[in-house]
Amino acid sequence: MKNLKIFIIAIVLAVFLVGPVAVWAQVPVIQFGVGSGGHELSPDEVTINKGEAVAFQVVGGGHRIAVYPVHESTTWEDIAEDLFPNCVELAPGDLDGLCDVTSRYLVTDGQGKLIVDTGTNPPFPVINDPTDRLLFVTGLNNGAIAAGTTVQYTFEKTGRFLVICANRGHFLIPTVDGKFMFGFVNVVGTNAKTE
Ligand SMILES: [Cu+2]
């Protein structure tokens, strides 16, 4: 009888101590809008299993979230090279002065496939290319998502996915650190994740 009591107490403790930790560990959080200028993702790349979710925690204002599939070979540079050359460096490290956010940018992946067509502004103040887009989250009338909002999205297919802020200024203009407001989610087959 005493052993049974200890056994039950042990089970209850195990559920309380281990259960919640296991649940929290399943959904990686990407902070959406941190770093220099509040225009970076942190971390800017995560790997999950198919059928698992990522939580985008929106920090600060002005952000919209869009997700597009890209070829698995796609690097950070493959995306940035379609944005960066259109900006003029005002001073060493200061790249955000004369970037042209009104022009049309065609963003291609590691295989040269068109991923995001930004269109021009006007008429597109927000990047709104629906082709192959998996997720598009904005506030009312394409306005900004309220700061403090967490958007959780479950990835049902394996592959590599580009996550951008669909605010033209945030995506197209590099920060003083030379970063842009985009990142990647890698989705691997169930239980193939190595970490
Ligand atoms: Cu943003």
Angle at 83 between CA 78 and CA 88, to 5 degrees: 130
pLDDT score recorded for residue 4: 59
Residue 63 CA to ligand 1 center (angstroms) comes to 4
Average pLDDT estimate for 88-110: 75
pLDDT of residue 137: 98
Question: Tens digits of per-residue pLDDT, 44-67?
Answer: 999 999 999 999 999 999 999 999
* Greater pLDDT, 109 or 99: 109
Neighbours of 3 (CB within 10 A): 7
Looking at residue 193, what is its pLDDT?
A: 56
For residue 168, give both structure tokens. 């033209």
The pTM score is: 0.82
Q: Give mean pLDDT, residues 105-119.
A: 97
Where are any strands of DSSP class E within the chain? 29-34, 40-42, 45-49, 53-58, 65-70, 106-108, 114-117, 135-137, 150-154, 159-165, 182-188
User: What domains can you pick out in the chain, each with its CATH number?
Assistant: 27-188 (2.60.40.420)
Select from 179, 193, 187, 188 the least CA-distant residue to 41: 179
Kindly give the distance from the C-alpha atom of residue 166 to the centroid of ligand 1, in angstroms, as a whole number: 7
Q: In the predicted model, is pLDDT for residue 91 greater than 80?
A: no
Ligand 1: centre distance to CA 61 (Å): 7
